[in-house]
DNA sequence: CGGGTTTTCATGGGATATCATGGGATTTTA
DNA sequence: TAAAATCCCATGATATCCCATGAAAACCCG
């Protein structure tokens, strides 16, 4: 079920803390098991933003690794791609997290932060970049639907898709 | 099944609340599962108005995403287009909701609000804009009806859900 | 079918809880 | 030892919850 909806803007304070929006916080807490981190943060490979994964969803990403020989190059490559840039984050009592400097730089964050819900995960953006990204996604998502008409492309059936 | 019919006008009050018309409320409540939001609000991609989706209908929109590779650009675009501008809303005991500022601005809402039923969903408009839109739709639907002589356009109003 | 009663609806307001923001003290880490 | 992280507390704004009221709609009875 989708849980992260909408785009919410909060401030990054002088101590480098930012409040996770309450609805995202509630959704993360509902999914986090005892002793787990609240959320896993990693740089997006597609955009100048941070991806935020509930811990269970992130763990599910690593399941294909289990099928690889632990000493193979494939295993090593995937493990590096998955784990080496990922950071766990827990919030303080007020629901704030601290973002690692490398991730802040990747996303170009300075004083305000936009939390963009994508259903199963959310992304953390510089607010103006987030606005541009949403506009781009609206445009591109129309184009996604159209070329799949004849069923020739591998994303099947999304002529039915949407908006 | 319940459908959203008619156009109803209510006031946006000083606290930013507006009553969902009783018939729409009844239809939404009939469809909402326990623990679900009553309705999902998102900006229309075609008109200066807000689209209001029963949560189940909105969830159905996301099913095509499941068929895309989660790490593909197409998936990311559609997830952003679908979720990043969508906000869940629950009503208070009197059946009122609060509209997010971004959506109010998109629809140009100030003090009155028009709820326009479109069958499976409804739209929320500034009342004068709603009136102009209904007039335009009447004109355009006549034009559509004429070439559809062979019954090509009569299959289901799936135009309702899209931009 | 009309009049009276009851119920529902939309609107308004106040109290309380939550949220986001800010700051200081203490502890941990490099 | 200094910087960073964590913990704790406070506050204004907003959302949520609760209650009231007049108008309109629905209902009932003769």
- Per-domain residue ranges for chain A? 7-125, 127-163
Identify the H or E element spanning B73: helix B73-83
Predicted local confidence at residue B34, as pLDDT:
84
- From chain B, pick out residues whose CB is under 8 angstroms from the CB of A4: 83
Q: What is the mean pLDDT of residues B103-125?
A: 96
Q: Find and list the nucleotides of strand D having atoms within 7 Å of a protein beta carbon.
A: 5-10, 15-20
Which chain A residue has its CA at the smallest distance from B79's CA?
A: A118
| pLDDT reading at B4 higher than 60 | yes
Burial B67-96 (b: 16+ CB within 10 A, else e): ebeeeeebbbbbbbbbbbbbbbbebeeebb
Predicted local confidence at residue B3, as pLDDT:
86
Predicted local confidence at residue A62, as pLDDT:
80
Predicted local confidence at residue B83, as pLDDT:
96
What value of ipTM does the predicted structure carry?
Answer: 0.86
Select the residue from B34, B47, B73, B74 to test the A interface by mutation, using most A Cβ atoms within 10 A: B74
Average pLDDT score, chain B: 87
Q: Classify domain A7-125 at the CATH topology level.
A: Chemotaxis protein chec (3.40.1550)
The span from the CA of A81 to the CA of A133, in Å, is 24
Predicted local confidence at residue B90, as pLDDT:
95
Identify the H or E element spanning A30: helix A22-31
Q: What is the mean pLDDT of residues B80-90?
A: 96
The span from the CA of A62 to the CA of A38, in Å, is 17
Rounded to whole angstroms, the distance from the CA of residue A59 to the C1' of nucleotide D3 is: 33
Give residues with Cβ within 8 angstroms of A129, minimum separation 6.
A48, A49, A107, A108, A114
Select the residue from B82, B118, B121 to test the A interface by mutation, using most A Cβ atoms within 10 A: B82
Residue found by looking up tokens 């098991």 in the block: A33
Answer for the pair A56, A120: CB distance below 8 angstroms, yes or no.
Answer: no
Query: Which residue, among B1, B5, B7, has the nearest Cα to B135 in the 3D structure?
Result: B7
Predicted local confidence at residue B148, as pLDDT:
54
pLDDT tens readout for residues B19-40: 999 999 999 999 988 888 999 9
Residues of chain A with pLDDT under 70: 1-2, 144-163
Q: Between B14 and B142, where is the model more confident?
A: B14
Ranges B17-21, B69-73, B93-97, B116-120: which has the least confidence:
B69-73
- Count of CB atoms situated within 10 Å of the CB of B108: 12
Predicted local confidence at residue B81, as pLDDT:
94
| pLDDT reading at B118 higher than 90 | yes
**Strand D proximal to B67 Cβ, under 7 A:** no
Q: Are strands B7-11 and A87-89 parallel, antiparallel or unpaired?
A: unpaired
**Strand C proximal to A96 Cβ, under 7 A:** yes
**Strand D proximal to B29 Cβ, under 7 A:** no
| pLDDT reading at B107 higher than 90 | yes
Q: What is the mean pLDDT of residues B76-98?
A: 95
> Domain B7-150, CATH 3.40.1550.20 — does that match?
yes
pLDDT tens readout for residues B46-78: 999 999 999 999 999 888 888 888 888 899 999
CA angle B39, A52, A69 (to 5 degrees): 125
**From the list B62, B74, B102, which residue is nearest A155 (CB)?**
B74
Rounded to whole angstroms, the distance from the CA of residue B8 to the C1' of nucleotide D28 is: 29
Q: Residues 19..38 of B with a Cβ closer than 8 Å to A: which?
A: none
Q: What is the mean pLDDT of residues B6-11?
A: 95
């Amino acid at each position: 079920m989708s849980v992260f909806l909408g785009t919410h803007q909060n401030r990054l304070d002088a101590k480098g803390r930012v409040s996770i929006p309450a609805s995202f916080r509630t959704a993360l807490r509902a999914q986090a098991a005892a002793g787990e981190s609240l959320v896993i943060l990693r740089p997006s490979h597609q955009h100048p933003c941070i991806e935020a994964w509930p811990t269970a969803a992130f763990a599910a990403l690593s399941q294909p690794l289990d099928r690889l020989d632990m000493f193979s190059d494939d295993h090593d490559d995937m493990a590096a791609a998955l784990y080496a840039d990922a950071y766990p984050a827990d919030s303080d009592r007020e629901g704030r997290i601290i973002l690692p400097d490398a991730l802040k730089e990747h996303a170009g964050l300075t004083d305000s932060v936009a939390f963009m819900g994508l259903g199963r995960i959310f992304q953390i953006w510089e607010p103006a970049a987030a606005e541009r990204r949403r506009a781009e996604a609206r445009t591109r998502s129309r184009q996604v639907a159209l070329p799949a008409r004849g069923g020739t492309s591998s994303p099947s059936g999304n002529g039915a898709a949407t908006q």
